[in-house]
A = this chain, B = another copy of it.
Amino acid sequence: MTTVSDARVVRTREALRRAMTELAAESPLDAITVRAIAARAGIGYATFFRHYADKDALLSEVADLLIREFMTEVRPLLMQRDRRGAARTIVYFVLGHLPIYKALIAGGSGETVRAEMLRQTLVTMAATRQRQPEGPLDDFIFFHIVSAILNQLAWWLRHEGAIDADAMAEIIERTVLTPVSDLRQNPPKGL
């Protein structure tokens, strides 16, 4: 395959990721053609396939980079007990990278991208988990936290300005983090 150290390759892939991000902000994923991505990136159509097997591979890479960046910042906060601090960090991190997160999480393809981010986050976290899950409840809780926060952020980014960042952090803490923490400490009987 292509050499990764070649400056042309780096340029081309960056252009493709950028084009994908822009287009995903404007329209649903299945309305975006490979030709449109290539055209937006300013590269030839066939060249696209030298770098990515298909549209979804490119989307996966974009989502993956986003998740890595996000996790690096947010994970340390999740480990400590300060739920409000964690919520604030998440909200302000998104706010600090508004264009790309708005495009991908709340844009025309947000649906698909959130599903991909959820999938990759679950895989990543499963691999790097501190302690093993103690039962189905742990799996459920983790799934719920990630999907609920992603969906809440999507709403927030689509209604920019409707709720200020600190209020949003409080909402995430009170509607997701704290209830889930209570559930874990006092599980339903029968589990």
Contact = CB atoms under 8 A, between A and B. Distances in A.
Interface of A: 30, 111-112, 115, 136-137, 139-140, 143-144, 147-148, 151-152, 155-156, 159, 162-164, 166-167, 170-171, 174-176, 178-180, 182-183, 188-191
A183 to B, nearest CB: 6
B151 A170 contact: no
Question: Does more than half of chain A's interface fall in helix, strand or loop, or is it mixed?
Answer: helix
Contacts of A182: 174
Question: Chain copies in the assembly?
Answer: 2
A179 B175 contact: yes
Nearest to A182: B174
Contact of A140 (B139, B155, B174): B155
Nearest to A119: B111
A54 B183 CA distance: 44
15 contacts: A111-B111, A111-B115, A136-B159, A139-B159, A143-B151, A143-B155, A144-B152, A147-B148, A148-B148, A148-B151, A151-B151, A167-B190, A167-B191, A175-B180, A176-B179
